[in-house]
Amino acid sequence: MRAGQALVADVVPFSWVDGPGNRFALFLQGCGFDCLACHNPQTIPDDSVHAQKLSVDDVLARLREAVPFVTGITVSGGEATRQWPFVRELFVAIRESSDLRHLSTMVDSNGDASAQVWQDLAPVMDGAMIDLKALDPDVHRYLTGRDNDVVLASIRTLAELDRLAEVRLLLVPGRNDSDDVLARTADWLVGIDPNISVRLNLFATHGVRSPAKGWTAATSADRARYEAVLTNRGLTIVTAS
Least Å from the CB of residue 19 to ligand SF4 = 15
Least Å from the CB of residue 38 to ligand SF4 = 3
Using the minimum distance from each CB to ligand SF4, give the nearer residue, 34 or 149.
34
Using the minimum distance from each CB to ligand SF4, give the nearer residue, 103 or 154.
154
Give the number of other Cβ atoms within 10 Å of residue 5's Cβ.
16
Which residues touch 159 (CB under 8 Å, ≥6 apart)?
A: 192, 193, 196
Least Å from the CB of residue 111 to ligand SF4 = 9
| Cα 109 from Cα 77, distance rounded (Å) | 8
Q: Are 181 and 135 in contact (CB under 8 A)?
A: yes
Least Å from the CB of residue 2 to ligand SF4 = 26
Distances (CA, A) of 68 to 13, 21, 56: 11, 13, 19
| Cα 187 from Cα 191, distance rounded (Å) | 6
Using the minimum distance from each CB to ligand SF4, give the nearer residue, 10 or 79.
79
Using the minimum distance from each CB to ligand SF4, give the nearer residue, 19 or 77.
77
Least Å from the CB of residue 153 to ligand SF4 = 16
Residue numbers at the binding site for ligand SF4 (CB under 6 A): 31, 33-35, 38, 40, 43-44, 77-79, 110, 144
| Cα 220 from Cα 204, distance rounded (Å) | 12
Using the minimum distance from each CB to ligand SF4, give the nearer residue, 72 or 77.
77
| Cα 184 from Cα 56, distance rounded (Å) | 41
